[in-house]
Chains A and B, each alone.
Chain A
Amino acid sequence: METISFGITAMTRPLETAATADVSVHLNLLLLLGIAIFSGTVGARLFQKLHIPQVVGYIVIGLILGGSVLKLIDIDLVMSLSPLNMFALGIIGFTIGGELKFDLFKRYGKQFVIILIAEGVSTFLVVGALTGLGAYLFTHDLNQSLALGVMLGAISSATAPAATVDVLWEYKTRGILTRTILAIVALDDGLALLLYGFAASLAAVFLGSGHSNWAVNLLMPFWEILGAVVLGVGIGAILAFIARRVQESQKVLAFALASILLGVGLSAVLHVEAILTAMTIGTAIVNLLPRRSKEIFEIVAKFAPPIYVLFFVLVGARLQITSVPTWIIVLAVIYVFGRSLGKMSGSWFGAYISKSPETVRKYLGICLFSQAGVAVGLSILASERFGGSIGQTIILIITSTTFLVQIIGPPLVKLGVKKAREVGMNITEEDLVKSYRVSDVMDAEPAVIRENTPIHEIISVFGRTSGFYYPVLDRNDNVTGAITVDSIRNTFANQELNDWLVALDIAEPVVAKVTPQTPLSEALETAGRLDTEHLAVVSSNDEDKFVGVLNCRAVRRQLSAEVLSRQQLADNIHSAQLA
């Protein structure tokens, strides 16, 4: 077998950007950001139509815009936007941290930690062994191969929270698998950092370039993790203190974003793990302000989409998939295979040991395939630390495999949560409103009043039934008005009219009609605009034939009940699995 040196220049070519610089000169930064966000969103929409998670769409668009195809976004630009990436990762971390409530830890803490260690260590060992062996077969350089193996093993244990969580949000999942995924992806970056620290120390020894101070090598990961936690708790406590005293949502949003930026920025200054800091801020907020935090996370989530889109598009743009040497491709394949095997076997083993439900044992592994920011970040750190060929090899393998696992990872998360029957269980009232039409929730058989009904009979109808709104129909069943409590109240002051007035005389005009096909969101928006709780439903826009009544208050109650019922169903499935 031909011996290949680690120092081949082909490995570094994809990172060169001179050829692309001319193109990007003509496009200013804001224009590029606009193109990235716009096309990323459009791409995600197209992928959604194909039932592929939107995050894949962002990344593919990034890939097209990036150095691999159109060369609109070059690696220099991506690097220059790294503060923005850190901000996006900060928001993602903050949001994930918000999922970690202490009662969840109390209930599942031990379970999560066992699974986390099992999947992380298993992936580290399997990837480390396989890639180290593979590298040795190609290079016959034992020390270099061992160093590469431990570094790739450590980096492979990280799971991309953003791409994974994006799928969970997109498909509104809820249940024990979802909770375990959230906990593992939130925590395993910490484990990856720890493993990376030890691996880097070990690799330095193999390469004969170890830090003179072993203690520094060993203590750095602890500092990065503990420092991040202390910093996050501190900033989170300050944000909670402020949020208790500030009522306006917009100001709270500003404070929340400022806290994330402060957390990420200070992390860079103090050399602690930025994403972990942001996560800890989120965890601190959700536990210090259990009620108010819901609003804080909601407004941050509303602010975040363009930043997410840009972040993922830039992840795609950073991927360089051209001019990769064959042996690197083989190592990359080994890496992906080993990582998948490690994640699956480790998750299964951890879930088995911790007596987790069957869905966790079966499907957690395939939900942890995504790899992105942290892995790429660690590979960049590795390249800075070791420089030369081994650093470039790590970057190249992580970059190319990131593309692959980012493409296959999100669909596998979708498959896992679907198999675990957790899709659509975390739906909100707003989601239901968007998915329903008027026909789904209208009252199709309400009490009605005919136009010629005398007032004393109308009063009797009010007495017999519990409604507050009665459509008035003509002989052809067309809606000509409505009688409400107010209409009846008006007649109380004029009782002398009761003998000779009929429903038509006291009915209020129908201000807006909807059809069964009208989207519920549109109908509720109309009702809100007209400040009315009821809308008459007619057969079509051209006819006034009565079909039913949309009682907005009752609809809200119905939607709340449905949300609660789905959540209970998700929790019951989990309880049944535990039993």
Chain B
Amino acid sequence: MSSDVQLSRVLAPERVLVLHTTTKAEALRALADCLATAPEVGDREALCEGIFYREQLMSTGIGMGIAVPHVRLASVSGPVMAAGICRTPIADYESLDGVPVRLIFMIAAGKFQHVEHLRLLSSLSLRFKSEKLRDALIAAPDTLTFYHTLIRQED
């Protein structure tokens, strides 16, 4: 399975947030609200519920200060993403390596898009192996810079 997902097709500049929250729950809720503005998302409540349900099964804090909360729902028509820069690292995210979370990438996909969903998760995971990119994103002064840094990476 190829991991060459174009992030520009799933992330729009207006779905990048600077988060000033300090807890996982607040951060997830804020990002879910933002993601729900995407035309692909049909049911905000279901999105929120799905994201929190998935977190109960296992934390999506994948380490290195990054979290990728994700869900597949019948009410979502296609892969879509929102991103959050946490100005205050979130310590209660229970990441795999215990490092507080600085960047959150929330993903939603259609119920039957399990292949596309995995491809998007894999694509992100591979990108964040680059410490340079992680640092650049954390240091981004505003959402637009963040967006272009992320998108430029794929060029």
**Which one of B58, B112, B118, B119 contacts A502 once the chains associate, using CB atoms below 8 Å?**
B58
In the complex, whether B125 has a CB less than 8 A from a CB of chain A is yes
Task: Determine the chain A residues whose CB is within 8 A of the CB of B117 once the complex forms.
Answer: 505
B121 touches A (CB below 8 Å) = yes
Q: Does A452 contact B (CB under 8 A)?
A: yes
Most buried by A among B68, B115, B118: B118
CA distance A451 to B57 in the complex (A): 7
Q: Closest Cβ of chain A: how far from B66's Cβ, in Å?
A: 10
Q: Which residues of A contact B114 (CB under 8 A)?
A: 487, 490, 506-509
Contacts of A490 in B (CB 8 A): 1, 114-115, 118
- Cross-interface CB contact of B125 among A451, A487, A497, A505, cutoff 8 Å: A497
A500: chain B residues at CB < 8 Å are: 58-60, 62, 68, 96
Name which residue of chain A comes closest to B56, CB basis. Answer: A452
Q: Is A248 in contact with chain B by the CB < 8 A criterion?
A: no
Residue of B nearest to A454 (CB): B58
Alpha-carbon distance A503/B117, docked complex (angstroms): 14
**Chain B residue with the shortest CB-CB distance to A452:** B57
Q: Is the CB of A432 closer than 8 A to any CB of chain B?
A: no
Tell me if B57 and A493 are in contact (CB < 8 A).
no
Interface size on A, residues (CB 8 A): 20
Where chain B touches its partner, the secondary structure class is mixed
* Chain B nearest CB, measured from A491 CB (Å): 7
Asked if B70 is at the interface of the complex by the 8 Å CB criterion, the answer is yes
The reply to whether B57 and A506 form a contact with Cβ atoms under 8 Å apart is: no
Residue among A494, A499, A507 making CB contact with B62, cutoff 8 Å: A499
Interface centre among B1, B57, B70, B129 (most CB of A within 10 A): B57
Is A165 an interface position by the 8 A CB rule?
no
- B-side contacts of A502, CB under 8 Å: 57-58
Is residue A504 within 8 Å, beta carbon to beta carbon, of the partner chain? yes
With A494-B121, A497-B118: A509-B112 Cβ-Cβ less than 8 Å? yes
- Which chain B residue has the least Cβ–Cβ distance from A499? B96
- The reply on B148 being an interface residue by CB < 8 A is no
- Which chain B residues border A494 with CB–CB below 8 Å? 1, 3, 118-119, 121-122, 125
Shortest distance between the CB of B56 and any CB in chain A (Å): 8
Contact A497 B58 (CB under 8 A): no
Chain A proximity mask over B123-142: 1 for CB below 8 Å, otherwise 0: 00110010000000000000
A506 to B121, CA, bound (A): 11
Interface residue from B59, B111, B118, B121 paired with A509 (Cβ < 8 Å): B111
Q: How far is the CA of A509 from the CA of B125 in the complex (A)?
A: 24
CB neighbors of A among B1-57 (8 A): 1, 3, 54, 57
CB distance from A334 to the nearest CB of B (A): 77
A501 at interface (Cβ–Cβ under 8 A)?
yes
Chain A 336-362 interface residues, beta-carbon cutoff 8 Å to B: none
Chain B residue at smallest Cβ distance from A496: B125
- In the complex, residue of chain B having the shortest beta-carbon distance to the beta carbon of A489: B1
One of B70, B96, B111 near A505 (C-beta < 8 A): B70
Q: In the complex, what distance in Å separates the CA atom of A493 from the CA atom of B129?
A: 16
> A499 to chain B: which residues have CB within 8 Å?
62, 96
Q: Which of A454, A501, A508 has the most chain B CB atoms inside 10 A of its CB?
A: A501
For residue A566, give the distance in angstroms from its CB to the closest CB of chain B: 42
Task: Give every chain B residue within 8 A of A508 (Cβ-Cβ).
Answer: 114
Contacts of B68 in A (CB 8 A): 500
A56 to B117, CA, bound (A): 63
A507: chain B residues at CB < 8 Å are: 114
CA A501 – CA B54 in complex, angstroms? 10
A481-494 vs B, Cβ < 8 Å mask (1 yes, 0 no): 00000010011011
B-contacting residues, A499-557, CB 8 Å? 499-502, 504-509
Residues of B within 8 A of A505 (CB): 54, 70, 72, 117-118, 121
Write the chain B residue with the least CB distance to A504. B57
Closest to B121 in A: A497
**Chain B residues closer than 8 Å to A501, beta-carbon distance:** 118, 121
Tell me which residues from 425 to 480 in chain A have a Cβ below 8 Å from any Cβ of chain B: 451-452, 454
Separation in Å of the A291 CB from the closest CB of chain B? 43
Bound CA–CA A182/B3 (angstroms): 67
Identity of the chain B residue whose Cβ is nearest the Cβ of A495 in the assembled complex? B122
In Å, the complex CA distance between A454 and B72 comes to 17
Q: C-beta contact mask, B68-106 vs A, less than 8 Å → 1, else 0?
A: 101010000000000000000000000010000000000
Say whether A491 contacts B118, CB under 8 Å.
Answer: yes
CB-CB under 8 A from A487, the residues of chain B are 114
Q: How far is the CA of A497 from the CA of B57 in the complex (A)?
A: 16
List of A residues within 8 angstroms of B129 by Cβ = 496
Which residue on chain B has the smallest CB distance to residue A508?
B114
B3 surroundings in chain A (CB, below 8 A): 493-494
CA distance A487 to B115 in the complex (A): 9
Which of these, A491, A496, A504, A509, contacts B54 with CB under 8 Å? A504
Looking across the interface, which residue of chain A has its beta carbon closest to that of B128?
A: A496
**Cβ of A457 to closest chain B Cβ, rounded Å:** 11
Residue on A with the closest CB to B125? A496
Least CB distance, A512 to chain B, in whole angstroms: 13
Q: Measured between alpha carbons, how far is A507 from B118 in the docked complex, in Å?
A: 11
Nearest to B54 among chain A residues (CB) is A504
**Shortest Cβ distance from A94 into chain B, in angstroms?**
51
Chain A residues in 8 Å Cβ range of B121: 494, 497, 501, 505
CB distance from B37 to the nearest CB of A (A): 24
> Which residues in A have their C-beta under 8 angstroms from that of B57?
451-452, 502, 504
Chain A residues with Cβ below 8 Å from B112 are: 509
- CB-CB nearest in chain B for A492: B1
Chain B residue, CB-CB nearest to A491: B118
Bound state CA distance, A501 and B115, in angstroms?
Answer: 14
- B29, chain A: closest CB distance, angstroms: 20
Complex CA distance for A28 and B33, rounded to whole angstroms:
73
Chain A residues near B (Cβ < 8 Å): 451-452, 454, 487, 490-491, 493-494, 496-497, 499-502, 504-509
Given contacts A504-B57, A509-B112, 11 further A-B contacts (CB under 8 A): A452-B57, A454-B58, A487-B114, A493-B122, A494-B122, A497-B122, A499-B62, A500-B60, A505-B54, A509-B72, A509-B111
Q: List 12 A–B pairs whose Cβ atoms lie within 8 Å, in order of A's numbering.
A: A487-B114, A493-B3, A494-B122, A497-B118, A497-B125, A500-B58, A502-B57, A505-B72, A506-B114, A506-B118, A507-B114, A508-B114
Q: Chain B: residues with CB nearer than 8 A to chain A?
A: 1, 3, 54, 57-60, 62, 68, 70, 72, 96, 111-112, 114-115, 117-119, 121-122, 125-126, 129
